[in-house]
Amino acid sequence: MEKLFIIKIGGNLLDDSGRLSTFLEMFSAIAGNKILVHGGGRIATRIGARMGIKEKYEAGRRITDGDTLDLVTMVYGGLVNKQIVAKLQSLKCNAIGLTGADAGLIPAVKRPVGQVDYGFAGDIVPGGIRSATCTLLINQGLVPVFAPLTYEDSGTLLNTNADSIASALGIALSATFEVRLIFCFDKGGVLERPQDPDSVIHSLDPERYRQLKSRGVLNNGILPKLDAAFEALAKGVSEVVIGDTAQLMQHVQGNISGTLIHA
Amino acid sequence: MEKLFIIKIGGNLLDDSGRLSTFLEMFSAIAGNKILVHGGGRIATRIGARMGIKEKYEAGRRITDGDTLDLVTMVYGGLVNKQIVAKLQSLKCNAIGLTGADAGLIPAVKRPVGQVDYGFAGDIVPGGIRSATCTLLINQGLVPVFAPLTYEDSGTLLNTNADSIASALGIALSATFEVRLIFCFDKGGVLERPQDPDSVIHSLDPERYRQLKSRGVLNNGILPKLDAAFEALAKGVSEVVIGDTAQLMQHVQGNISGTLIHA
């Protein structure tokens, strides 16, 4: 099986054009099959503020109302995605910008209303990803760049967590490729003591994860990422790395400087 | 050679969600190979106004400054394009939303500064379209949906006229397909007397076009569309039709109710 790198980048990086450029230069230098998944970043908040769209929260959770859906469709699906694509093209990386709606790649369902109505938030349909189309694009030397948007059958776009998209793509494509899933963020890896940047856990298996969770030492923000990572691993992804964006080439080359998630 | 329909829609249609829905239902019902190219519409002006971005004109021509480029990237490349794609997916039409930057499909150059500095306006590089990639997508049953954006080598996106994109795609793909290029708009066709909707010219060749232009009877707005149409025809496109959006199925089936442009 050929290797496939799926690399997820998030908020802070997207808001810093200098760091983003450096990252895209590294990304374009990765040889072989690769996918980039990007999150949102604060630019949507900033543009929303200029348009008079306020962020909405319910029980501490962010809500995607109709205005917010239009905003993230514009900012993530348009501005952020296409700027990344154009920059990668200039670096001779044959990027193609996509949302989950394009080519029907990532079907989702609107999250059911429970205690919280999340609005136009999408949960990816398990087994729904059109991996044949995705594989076709990759085999043509194209580099898919995914914005954190999916869609449902009714024709509505849905706001979807970028970690979940990266993980779901990894699972779907692990039938065809040997997938290494790399979550890039601003820390050196998963930290045992959130205040101590030197406390990177270099190796994490499900048992140790359970222990750390039960001790309550992990930063709450990292838990969804770790859940996505372990799910990907359980469902076919070969390796998952969580680490510093600046160390991308190490994560790709296998000199793990961040956290290696393994079974 | 297989047939390929390239259909261009513009402003007023995009601003009317009911008419747009009706159009997309018709479009999705077209059998065989097809491409949709959409323009902008007044929604960018409306969103720009909410963001405090003013439209800029110089010598009566609209200028794409940096803010405006970001705005059209968001609105055309994100909101309009992805909403169309999601709607087409719901109609079982396997749409994939693209700008000229995606897969490097439509390279362009920033328009040289002459009497007017148009800013980030792109002129398509003659012969530059990556028709092999476009053909590959079409042969997979995908339906490309193009936003009116291109890019240049430096990694900058560029605002580009949708008629020009439709025409350039038609020319590039006429080596592989028998292309019928259909420009949809709000009138029944090219009008001999702009105030008289019944004065549709059903058949127009270069000689008659020259005559009409020299008499100055044609609406100024139609001239760039006609220039694009005749250029496409001269460079390999089989047929060009300019007509009423509501008559799309007639334009496709060859019962020309609009203006047929021919050599």
Residue A40 — pLDDT band, cuts 50, 70, 90? confident
pLDDT band at A206 (very low <50, low <70, confident <90, very high): very high
Report whether pLDDT(A39) > 80: yes
Q: What's the rounded Cα separation, in Å, for the pair B156 and B119?
A: 12
Range A102-106 average pLDDT: 98
**What is the pTM assigned to this prediction?**
0.96
Residues 6+ apart with CB under 8 A from B255: none
Q: Is the pLDDT of residue B60 over 80?
A: no
| CA atoms of A21 and A35, how far apart (whole Å) | 17
Give the pLDDT of residue B99.
98
A60: region left, alpha or beta (phi > 0 left; psi from -120 to 50 alpha): left
More confidently predicted of A109 and B218: A109
From its phi and psi, is residue B97 left (phi > 0), alpha (psi between -120 and 50) or beta? beta
The shortest C-alpha distance from B112 to chain A (Å) reads 20
Least confident of A160-169, A248-257, B71-80, B131-140: A248-257
Q: Name the residue with tokens 């080596």.
A: B175
Residue B65 C-alpha, separation from nearest chain A C-alpha, in angstroms: 15
Residue B194 has a pLDDT of 87
Instruction: Answer yes or no: are the C-beta atoms of B95 and B70 closer than 8 Å.
Output: no
As a whole number of angstroms, the longest Cα–Cα distance in chain B is 50
pLDDT at residue A8, rounded to an integer: 97
Of B183, B178, B153, give the one whose Cα is nearest residue B165: B183
Euclidean distance between CA atoms A259 and A62, whole angstroms: 28
Rounded (5°) CA angle B47-B108-B14: 30
Q: B207: pLDDT confidence band, cut at 50, 70 and 90?
A: very high
Question: Which tokens go with A14?
Answer: 């997207």
Using the predicted structure, report yes or no on whether residue A113 has a pLDDT greater than 80: yes
Shortest CA distance from A99: residue in chain B: B82
Tell me the mean pLDDT in the region B144-164: 97
Contact B98, B144 (CB under 8 A): yes
Give the chain A residue whose CA is nearest to the CA of B151.
A86
Nearest Cα of chain B lies from the Cα of A101 at a distance, in angstroms, of: 5
Q: Is the pLDDT of residue B235 over 90?
A: yes
Q: Is pLDDT of B257 > 90?
A: no
DSSP A83-149: HHHHHHHHTT--EEEE-TTGGG-SBEEEPPPSSS--BSBEEEPTT---HHHHHHHHHTT-EEEE-SE
Using a CB-CB distance cutoff of 8 angstroms, which residues of chain A are in contact with residue B51?
Answer: 47, 50-51
- Is the distance from CB of A180 to CB of A6 less than 8 angstroms? yes
